[in-house]
Amino acid sequence: MYNTNFPQGKDTVRYIQNILKSRKDIRYLFNSIADFYETVNKILSLGLDGRWRDKVSSFAEGVTLDIACGTGEMTYRISCNSKVNYVIGLDVSDKMIRWGLKNKNFCSRFNFVVGAGEFLPFKDNTFDSVSVAFGIRNFEDRASALQEIKRVLKNNGYFLILDTFRPKSKTLTILYKVYLYAIPHITKFLVGRFEEYLYMSKSILNYMTTDEFAEFLSKNDFFVEKISDMTFGIVSFVLARNRK
């Protein structure tokens, strides 16, 4: 059963076409940077991204879905969690997935699926936990994606979110703007890519704060158990549970 919370009538076709166009653009963007994506992430985060992902992945359990998995960095860490029996990574970028399969040694049973968060090809109540690391802001329709996550997640199942949210303080906002302005220039120097990382930098400052995101989750019947800022608030971990 798939999400049917779409516009009705002739608007349905237009809605789906817009989603698919956006997915195609995002897929092209991430396919184009797949070969050096992880290396650049480690450089830009000063090697801290692994620690962030380790903390979040420790909350996964049972059968877990990792959405917007990219090269499988989070998927891999989840697979090595002793509480996890099986993990599926899902991403729009087939090249990212292929890179992960070639370069990582997964611990538990795993699989990958090419797909988008707005259209999850899984049955209702399939997963004990769902994770999304640095991916929700790239969804074309976040509300529909959240309803899809809710649909495939079991009652009281964990929803694990790791992301860079818009800062709440003016001081941190200024520092963010300076850093985010620098990112595409750094990546242009490192790997010759500017536009791709300019998009990702802009997406952060156009995103929600953690308070706004918590409210967004609550409106979609998720109970927020914990919000944890890491590394001086550079990134945040949001732990929520599904309420059927």
pLDDT tens for the chain, residues 1 to 244? 333 343 444 444 343 344 444 556 777 788 888 888 898 889 888 889 999 999 999 999 999 999 999 999 999 999 999 999 999 999 999 999 999 999 999 998 999 999 999 999 999 999 999 999 999 988 888 999 999 999 999 999 999 999 999 888 777 778 878 878 888 888 888 888 787 778 777 777 778 999 999 999 999 999 999 999 998 788 999 999 998 7
Residues whose CB falls within 8 Å of the CB of residue 232, separated by 6 or more in sequence, listed in order: none
SS3 186: helix
Determine, yes or no, domain membership for 174: no
β-strand pairing of 235-242 with 222-230 = antiparallel
| Domain around 132 | 10-37+44-165+209-242
Determine, yes or no, domain membership for 192: no
Total of domains in the chain: 1
Determine, yes or no, domain membership for 175: no
Positive or negative: CA dihedral 217, 60, 116, 199: positive
120, 123, 135: which is closest to 70 by C-alpha?
A: 135
Determine, yes or no, domain membership for 197: no
Interatomic CA distance for residues 74 and 54, integer angstroms? 8
CB atoms closer than 10 angstroms to residue 143: 14
CATH of the domain at 225: 3.40.50.150
